[in-house]
Amino acid sequence: SLYLFGAGADARPFAALASSVGYAVHICDWRESLCTKEHFPDAASFQIGSINELLHRITFTKLDSVVIMTHDFQVDQQILRVLQKENVLYAGLLGSKKRTRRLLGNTIPDWLHSPIGLSIGAEGPEEIAVSIIAEMISIRKGSEICPSLAFI
């Protein structure tokens, strides 16, 4: 399963691509108007409510992946506080290293992928989705990708 926190416009191509490569995508957001089949036609479920409520409702497993795309500083902090106690396969946060350091008090832990995705020079939501999914697949398959050797 993939738990996607944030249902903004940039999450749509990511959710679609994740579904197409086999993830059961669960959209988690406090904004009911964004959590629709129209926006996320392939979603396995919609988890709607306050982030605190959602985090207590979800039982994460070691095979799950979590991607945070809320664009809300306080919400991201809440999610990260809970995730640091969980054992998930992949946890990634959209945003710069500088923002992540501010969220976590200057240190980015090993369990968190931030900036999220492989460094492929991605631009725009669709290309960013490709870079994130590629990173998630490499983690799931247990392979480390060396960007400079990936295509040799």
**Which CATH number characterizes residue 12's domain?**
3.40.50.720
Domains: count for the chain? 1
Q: Say if residue 150's pLDDT is above 70.
A: no
In a domain, 152, yes or no: no
Domain residue limits at 128: 2-140
The pLDDT tens digits of the residues spanning 93-129 come to 999 999 999 999 888 999 999 999 999 998 999 999 9
pTM: 0.91
Q: How far, in Å, CA of 120 to CA of 46, rounded?
A: 30
Average pLDDT over all residues of the chain: 92
Q: How far, in Å, CA of 124 to CA of 140, rounded?
A: 24
pLDDT at 151: 44
> Which residues have C-beta within 8 Å of that of residue 81, sequence separation ≥ 6?
none
* Pick from 87, 91, 90, 95: nearest CA to 70: 95
In a domain, 150, yes or no: no
DSSP state of 29: E
Mean pLDDT of 4-32: 97
Read off the tokens for 101.
């350091």
